[in-house]
Amino acid sequence: MTAQKTVKKLKVKMVSIYIMGKEYKVPEGLTIHKAMEYAGYKLVRGVGCRAGFCGACATVYRFKDDYRLYTGLACQTTVKDGMYLVILPFVPAKKPGYDIEKLKADFSSIVKLFPEVTRCVQCNTCTKVCPQEIQVMDAIQMILRGDIKSAAELSFDCIACGICSLRCPAEIIHYNLFQLVRRLNGKYLTPKSQHLVQRLKEIEEGKFDKELEKLVKMGPEKWKELYEQRVIE
């Protein structure tokens, strides 16, 4: 008996999805990314790490006879029958320029750059749509209270997908705001690591120059070998 005859044919349930208005039949259980590729699309935008870390695949979708607008990451969200979807190349948002050296880790510095933060109505929509399950609204409230450190820690896992900003009635640009908050926290509120200070000094003094030069001369094959043999803690 051949191997082909012994393999049972799997029955896969197919669902209908609509991409830019056109219907496609795809296997149930695929992520939006994989379903689009199954349908024949070659993804060159709105796709990055494929693992929920880069925030490049923010997606908006709806269902027939359902007025609600749903959001998610295409690499994590699985398709459902009757889904109408479109992947957003990015969420348009202004990013004010600033010199971190001229700012202070306080609310006054933040509100000058992001005045819309004061318009927060505490609807909690931002938290509900966050694919990382970050307590986004709580972080905004901490900023309003001047608790920069807590806001930075709470928003640490933000991947800047922009979905929260897409749904915010106050038009707060959360991911750019949180980036500023984390920068202020890192520069002014987090104690300096003395080990890091010492290591930077050693680098500047040339302590590792010979070792680095030796490593550079090894070439890609040796680098790969050393990487595979590294001790993982």
174 in a structural domain = yes
Last residue of a domain, one of 65, 87, 109: 87
Same domain flag for 104 and 185: yes
Specify whether the CB–CB gap between 187 and 157 falls below 8 A: no
State the alpha helices, DSSP H only, in the chain: 3-6, 32-38, 107-113, 125-129, 136-144, 148-154, 163-167, 174-184, 194-204, 209-218, 220-228
Other beta carbons within 10 Å of 22 = 8
State the pTM of this model: 0.73
Residues 179 and 198 in one domain: no
In a domain, 1, yes or no: no
Question: Distance between CA 65 and CA 57 in Å, rounded?
Answer: 25
- pLDDT reported for residue 1: 47
Tell me the C-alpha to C-alpha distance, in Å, between residue 46 and each of 43, 54, 139.
Answer: 7, 10, 27
d(CA 61, CA 84): 5
Question: Does residue 119 share a domain with residue 67?
Answer: no
pLDDT of residue 102: 95
Same structural domain for residues 172 and 206? no
Strand partners, 26: 15
* pLDDT tens-digit series, residues 141-172: 999 999 999 999 999 999 999 999 989 999 99
Assigned domain for 2 exists:
no
Residues 105 and 185 in one domain: yes
Question: Is 137 inside any structural domain?
Answer: yes
């938290």: which residue's tokens? 127
Per the structure, the complete domain to which residue 81 belongs is given by 11-87
pLDDT tens per residue across all 233 residues of the chain: 443 444 346 688 999 999 988 999 999 999 999 999 999 998 887 788 888 888 888 899 999 889 898 999 999 999 999 999 877 766 667 789 999 999 999 999 999 999 999 999 999 999 999 999 999 999 999 999 999 999 999 999 999 999 999 899 999 999 999 999 999 999 999 998 899 999 999 999 999 999 999 999 999 999 999 999 988 76
- pLDDT at residue 7 in the model: 36
Q: Per the domain annotation, does 25 fall within a domain?
A: yes
Number of folded domains that form the chain: 3
What phi and psi, each to the nearest 5 degrees, are found at residue 19?
-110, 115
User: One-letter amino acid identity for 219?
Assistant: G
Is 155 within 8 Å of 193 (Cβ atoms)?
no
Domain of 71, CATH number, reads: 3.10.20.30
